[in-house]
């Protein structure tokens, strides 16, 4: 078998999962090229060197980049803690350990380095290119990539690991003194915020929680207003529970795909009910949690969920584990009308419950609320710069308040394609080898993550991460990236086969 070549566009966490899966697969040697213009190779935006108070929101078992080895990060973390001894990962309320984001970035760097070393040991040639990719053309036997600097390279297979878009400046405040467009890294962004200044945070997700934790850690005493349209905070993660699903499994979902080809949302809800009943969960409590969003104040919901951290009822824990795990398998089975229904009526609830904050973070927020230092407001309509240089925040109920500083925590919608990657993606769309998904991202084949155009998956082009949000629903999160990476590597090696022909002269296919 002649040497194969793989081009990876993007060098963040998804690329680390892919490279580790490739190293573990022990396939035939070839050439691997990674394109990443950012100085934060392997770390991405979220895991840069930053303050220790900003932590990963999942326990170590959910953050391993190694296929089939959920303890991989935990073992690394234990070794790192013994060496560093400069941070504490333990959560006092749940017993789980939540590593600082910068430490997880160290893990990503270490994992990438180890995987590349293993690939070199197997005979792979490695090339790390510090440039962006501006265009891609499908050729008769592969893909030709063009970099921002004008260089071209031909590959047998290309995997797009382009990550998420930058934060959205919804109210056009960029450039205004006192406005912070992107809070990461917080250790750099918040240095000029006065201790007693009033701060408004736009958005109420996990990034907003990070901002509050960082302000608190640096001794901020001014008032903090958390403002968003709906005031939906992340849920609160409960104490871990050993649980082995019987109904909500990947195997069952894939069996349904083979046997039925499609299921209704009501049928899936029936499987959830069977799982909850089998585990002895209190169904009414789960139903109330899912349907109560918006029927209680954000503070009351946060307080109630924090009080339930040690609850013996397994219901929410089952949903928090099972839904992200099988989401990519369930989503393609649903009818289109059910997908629309789920996105329109249940998406925020699912994201809130399945992407929760650590209990320790919830405790900090509640202490600030009880001390009248934090106000959580919903009904945000407009933010504008006033003539005096501060900001006016207008709410839907007709009230308004002022803030000295405004920090943006509005991340791009999960289905949005990164603005920086649009020249590359547009070249694929114009070439007829990719297609936009109506729910965001590009069309990908579920089993292989191959790009789809005209209903046909392309064996040379793959997408990993949020680029497949519309096709896979839970396209983000390390467990999902690990699963998809395993699928992609298996597909590439199978496609290469035992008789991979030598490269020809890369005749371009017509658009």
Q: Looking at residue 43, what DSSP letter applies?
A: T
Question: In angstroms, what CA-CA distances link 201 with 179, 224, 367?
Answer: 10, 7, 18
H or E element, residue 378 = strand 374-378
Give all strands (DSSP E) within 81-220, no chain letters. 125-129, 133-139, 142-147, 152-155, 157-160, 179-180, 199-202
Separation between Cα atoms, residue 442 and residue 430, nearest integer Å: 13
Q: Can you give the pLDDT at residue 197?
A: 96
Residue holding tokens 């333990």? 90
Q: Does 248 score more than 70 pLDDT?
A: yes
Instruction: Find where tokens 């019987």 sit.
Output: 246
User: Token digits for 297?
Assistant: 């104040």
- For the chain, give the mean pLDDT: 89
Contact 161, 11 (CB under 8 A): yes
195 CB-contact burial (10 Å; exposed 0-12 / middle 13-18 / buried 19+): exposed
46 pLDDT tier (thresholds 50, 70, 90) = confident
Q: Write the CATH number of the domain with boundaries 4-49+117-166+414-496.
A: 3.50.50.60
As given in the structure block, the two tokens for residue 350 are 């699912």
Strands 224-228 and 450-453: unpaired
Mean pLDDT of 498-502: 40
Q: How far, in Å, CA of 428 to CA of 511, rounded?
A: 9
Rg over alpha carbons for the chain, rounded to the nearest Å, is: 23
pLDDT band at 415 (very low <50, low <70, confident <90, very high): low
For residue 306 the two structure tokens come to 């924090």
Residue 54's CB: how many other CB atoms inside 10 A? Answer: 24
Q: Which residue has the higher pLDDT, 123 or 78?
A: 123
Instruction: Calculate mean pLDDT across residues 28-36.
Output: 96
Q: What is the DSSP string of 169-195?
A: -TTS-TTSTTEES---SHHHHTTTS-T
Residues whose CB is less than 8 angstroms from the CB of residue 315 and which lie 6 or more positions away in sequence, other chains included: 276, 279, 281, 282, 283, 285, 286, 289
SS (H, E, C) 245-288: CCCCCHHHHHHHHHHCCCECHHHHHHHHHHHHHHCCCCHHHHHH
Host H or E run for residue 394? strand 391-395
The model's pLDDT over 107-136, given as tens digits with 9 standing for 90+, comes to 999 999 999 999 999 999 999 999 999 999
At 86 the pLDDT is: 59
CATH 3.50.50.60 in the chain, residues?
4-49+117-166+414-496, 179-234+358-408
Q: Residue 353 — pLDDT band, cuts 50, 70, 90?
A: confident
∠ CA 323-327-333, rounded to 5°: 130
Which three-class secondary structure state does DSSP give residue 62? Answer: helix
Q: How many whole angstroms separate alpha carbon 357 and alpha carbon 235?
A: 6
How big, in percent rounded to 5, are the helix, strand and coil portions of the chain? 40, 20, 45
pLDDT of residue 505 exceeding 50, the answer is no
Asked if 313 and 282 count as a contact pair (C-beta separation under 8 A), the reply is yes
274 Cβ partners below 8 Å, 6+ apart? Answer: 247
Asked if pLDDT for residue 306 goes beyond 50, the answer is yes
pLDDT, position 88: 65
Q: Which of 135-139, 325-329, 453-457 is the least confident region? A: 325-329
Task: Report the CATH number of the 179-234+358-408 domain.
Answer: 3.50.50.60
The pLDDT confidence band at residue 476, using thresholds 50, 70 and 90, is confident
> Quick one: pLDDT at residue 349?
85
> 476-508 burial, b if ≥16 CB within 10 A, otherwise e?
bbbbbbbbbbbbbbebbbeebeeebeebeebee
Q: What is the pLDDT, as a whole number, of residue 498?
A: 36
* Phi–psi pair at 377, nearest 5 degrees: -120, 140
Question: Is a pLDDT exceeding 80 seen at residue 474?
Answer: no
Of 36, 330, 6, give the one whose Cα is nearest residue 163. Answer: 36
Task: Return the percentage of the chain with pLDDT > 90, whole number.
Answer: 57
Helix (H) or strand (E) holding 462: strand 456-463
| Phi, psi values for residue 184, rounded to 5° | -90, 140
pTM: 0.90
Q: How far apart are CA 457 and CA 269, in angstroms?
A: 30
* Cα-to-chain-centroid distance, residue 317: 20
């Amino acid at each position: 078998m002649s040497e194969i070549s793989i081009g990876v566009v993007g060098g963040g966490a998804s690329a680390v999962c892919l490279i580790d899966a490739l190293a573990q697969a022990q396939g035939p040697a070839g050439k691997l090229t990674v394109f990443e213009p950012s100085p934060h190779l392997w770390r991405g935006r979220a895991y840069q060197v930053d303050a220790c108070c900003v932590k990963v929101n999942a326990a170590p078992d959910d953050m391993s980049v190694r296929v089939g080895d959920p303890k991989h990060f935990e073992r690394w973390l234990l070794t790192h803690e013994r060496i560093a001894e400069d941070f504490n990962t333990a959560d006092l309320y749940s017993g789980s350990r939540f590593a600082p984001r910068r430490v997880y970035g160290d893990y990503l760097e270490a994992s990438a380095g180890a995987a590349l070393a293993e690939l070199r040991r197997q005979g792979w040639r490695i090339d790390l290119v510090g440039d962006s990719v501006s265009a891609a053309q499908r050729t008769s036997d592969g893909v030709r990539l063009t970099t921002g600097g004008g260089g071209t390279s031909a590959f047998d297979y290309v995997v797009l690991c382009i990550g998420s878009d930058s934060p959205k400046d919804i109210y056009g405040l960029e450039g205004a003194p006192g406005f912070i467009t992107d809070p990461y890294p917080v250790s750099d962004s918040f240095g000029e915020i006065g201790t007693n200044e009033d701060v408004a945070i736009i958005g109420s997700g996990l990034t907003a929680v990070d901002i509050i934790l960082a302000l608190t850690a640096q001794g901020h005493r001014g008032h903090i207003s958390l403002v968003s349209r709906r005031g939906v905070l992340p849920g609160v993660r409960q104490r871990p529970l050993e649980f082995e699903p019987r109904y909500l499994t990947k195997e069952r979902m894939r069996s349904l795909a083979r046997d039925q080809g499609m299921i209704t949302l009501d049928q899936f809800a029936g499987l959830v009910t069977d799982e909850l009943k089998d585990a002895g969960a209190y169904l009414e409590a789960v139903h109330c949690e899912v349907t109560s969003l918006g029927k209680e104040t954000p503070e009351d919901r946060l307080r109630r969920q924090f009080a339930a951290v040690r609850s013996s009822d397994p219901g929410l824990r089952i949903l928090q584990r099972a839904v992200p795990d099988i989401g990519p398998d369930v989503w393609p089975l649903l009818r289109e009308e059910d997908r629309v229904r789920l996105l329109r009526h249940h998406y925020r609830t699912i994201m809130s419950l399945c992407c929760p904050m650590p209990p320790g973070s919830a405790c900090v927020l509640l202490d600030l609320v009880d001390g009248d230092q934090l106000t959580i407001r919903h009904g945000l309509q407009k933010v504008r710069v006033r003539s005096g240089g501060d900001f006016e925040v207008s709410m839907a109920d007709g009230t308004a308040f002022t803030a000295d500083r405004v920090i943006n925590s509005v991340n791009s919608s999960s289905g949005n394609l990164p603005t920086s990657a649009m020249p590359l993606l547009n070249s694929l769309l114009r070439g007829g080898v990719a297609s936009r998904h109506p729910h965001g991202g590009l069309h990908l084949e579920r089993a292989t993550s191959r790009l789809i155009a005209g209903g046909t998956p392309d064996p040379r082009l793959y997408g990993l991460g949020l680029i497949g949000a519309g096709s896979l629903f839970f396209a983000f999160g390390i467990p999902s990236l690990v699963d998809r990476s395993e699928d992609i590597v298996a597909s590439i090696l199978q496609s290469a086969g035992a008789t991979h022909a030598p490269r020809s002269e890369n005749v371009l296919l017509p658009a």
